Amino acid sequence: MDMRTRRAWHAALVETDPAEKCRRVAALGGNEVDDVDDDPRPVPGRPARPALIHPHDVPQRALGSVEGRAALLHAIAHIEFNAINLALDAGWRFAGLPTRYYADWLGVAQDEARHFAMLRARLQMLDFDYGDFAAHNGLWEAAEKTAHDALLRMALVPRVLEARGLDVTPGMIARLRKVGDLETVAILELILREEVRHVEIGTRWFRYLCAQRGLDAAATFRTLLIEHGVRLRPPLNLPARHAAGFVDAELATT
């Protein structure tokens, strides 16, 4: 990775302005991100708003009002914004992996930036914008907890937190369709299709790292769930999870 590409990758990760971050991510073209500094710990860029609060303090709003639909859109947009930083960090932080690994996570970052831009545009159509509602920082906190180990990151971020989106998005789509918000439905249907591939990328590299360490992937995944106090909450979107590489032995909910 040449110095110019390195600077562009780093600049996208630390950029605080959402529109500029998306522009920088879309412009990234390097597929080789394997020349990583010994201890790069850049702080991911985020705007001053939204205010970050505890997940339990984020208010729930009904979808019958425009504000309620905007609040849901905002929550999803916030997840996608964090997902940009997570994908960039997955490539920036972990050295010594195949070139394909870095290309995969660059592609994910570019998809997440596109998703965020679509959601933000829809929010603006409803006379709101990103930052107008409070949000929580759970996704990035998970990144910090898994920063020391690529295998743990692949297990607990794409295969737990992001995979949860595969389970809950169909219900959100049904609720939005019921209230007639077909514009948002179309965006979420596209995001759901593409997120299956993102989770599959996490699966692929989780299995690669398990094989590299002589570990059984399914047993290791279940062990990590137990060790980190994670329980898969039903109902699971089994077709989507299977398409994303999960096997039945990994999907017990008890």
pLDDT > 70 in the chain, percent: 91
Nearest CA to 84 among 54, 102, 51, 106? 106
> Which pLDDT belongs to residue 254?
63
Alpha carbon distance 71, 68 (integer Å): 5
The DSSP output letter for 233 is: P
- Point out which residues pair with 52 in neighbouring strands: 135
Q: SS3 for 135?
A: strand
User: With 80 as the cut, is the pLDDT of residue 121 above it?
Assistant: yes
Angle at 119 between CA 114 and CA 123, to 5 degrees: 145
Alpha carbon distance 197, 112 (integer Å): 12
User: With 80 as the cut, is the pLDDT of residue 227 above it?
Assistant: yes
Helix axes 3-14, 18-27, angle to 10 degrees: 150
Phi, psi of 135 (to 5 degrees): -145, 175
- Cβ contact 58:75 at 8 Å: yes
Domains of the chain: 3-27+60-250 (1.20.1260)
Q: Which helix (H) or strand (E) is 197 found in, with range?
A: helix 182-212
Separate counts of helices (H) and strands (E) for the chain = 10, 0
pTM of the complete model: 0.90
> Which pLDDT belongs to residue 142?
84
pLDDT-based confidence at residue 253 (cuts at 50, 70, 90)? confident
Alpha carbon distance 58, 226 (integer Å): 27
Mean pLDDT of 191-202: 97
Nearest CA to 39 among 156, 142, 151, 147? 147
* 36-62 pLDDT tens trace: 443 355 578 888 899 887 676 677 777
| Average predicted confidence (pLDDT) for the chain | 88
Q: C-alpha distances in angstroms, 155 versus 188, 215, 221, 228, 235?
A: 24, 13, 7, 11, 20
- Point out which residues pair with 135 in neighbouring strands: 52
User: With 90 as the cut, is the pLDDT of residue 6 above it?
Assistant: no
